[in-house]
């Protein structure tokens, strides 16, 4: 088995348990016959930046959670496959610019479907960011939490607009607090 396959086994184990077993149990998990084989593999994965040793155990590093970006794929006519060396990226690298000001929220309902935000999607929200009219925001309006497009009336009052004609605009009666701007939407297409 190549190191990539062992790495995949470790990633699957981590996904299920959120920890790694002690070094002695790694023989069983990886299907290796000796602890010296495990130590050699751990050394190679450490040198490659996927894991590190800490107090007798191994812990994942950022590269451990990376996924290969295998080049462009057309959504139109097929294109020839390329054999480029894949770039390694984590979803955090791609979706989040400022981790300390970012949260993720699960969407409920279909009021934003025409903006491509569906029930069950995750929205990535950046807090304390400059907000512009037309931004999709997460807001607390009159004490209730929602995701909508920020709009402004001709006389300067802010309101929230759905991206579904079945929903009326929301004009705050007492308060409107903008929690943050939606910067990304994540959707699983197969469950």
The catalytic residues are: 111, 148
CA dihedral over 145, 146, 149, 152, signed as positive or negative: negative
Task: DSSP letter for 107, please.
Answer: -
Q: Check if the beta carbon of residue 139 is closer than 8 Å to that of residue 111.
A: no
Instruction: Please name the residues in contact with 88: beta carbons below 8 A apart, sequence gap of 6 or more.
Output: 63, 66, 67, 68, 69
Q: Where are the beta strands (DSSP E) in 13-165?
A: 51-54, 57-60, 67-69, 87-89, 102-106, 122-126, 136-141, 144-152, 158-161
Both tokens of residue 58?
């191994």
Say whether 124 sits in a helix, a strand or coil: strand
Distance CA 42, CA 59 (A): 11
């Amino acid at each position: 088995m190549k190191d990539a396959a062992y790495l995949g086994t470790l990633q699957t184990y981590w996904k299920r348990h959120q920890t790694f077993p002690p070094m002695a149990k790694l023989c069983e998990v990886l299907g290796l016959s000796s602890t010296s084989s495990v130590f050699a593999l751990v050394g190679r994965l450490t040198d490659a930046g996927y894991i590190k040793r800490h107090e007798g155990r191994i812990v994942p590093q950022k590269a451990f959670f990376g996924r290969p970006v295998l080049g462009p794929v057309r959504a139109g006519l097929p294109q020839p496959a390329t054999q480029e060396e894949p770039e390694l990226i984590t979803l955090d690298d791609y979706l989040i610019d400022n981790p300390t000001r970012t949260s993720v929220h699960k969407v409920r309902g279909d009021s934003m479907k025409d903006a491509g935000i569906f029930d069950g999607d995750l929205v990535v929200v950046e807090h304390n960011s400059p907000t512009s009219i037309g931004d999709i925001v997460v807001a607390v309006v009159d004490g209730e939490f929602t995701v909508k497009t920020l709009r402004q009336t001709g006389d300067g009052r802010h309101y929230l607009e759905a991206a579904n004609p079945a929903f009326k605009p929301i004009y705050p009666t007492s308060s409107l607090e903008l929690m943050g701007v939606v910067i990304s939407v994540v959707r699983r297409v197969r469950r």
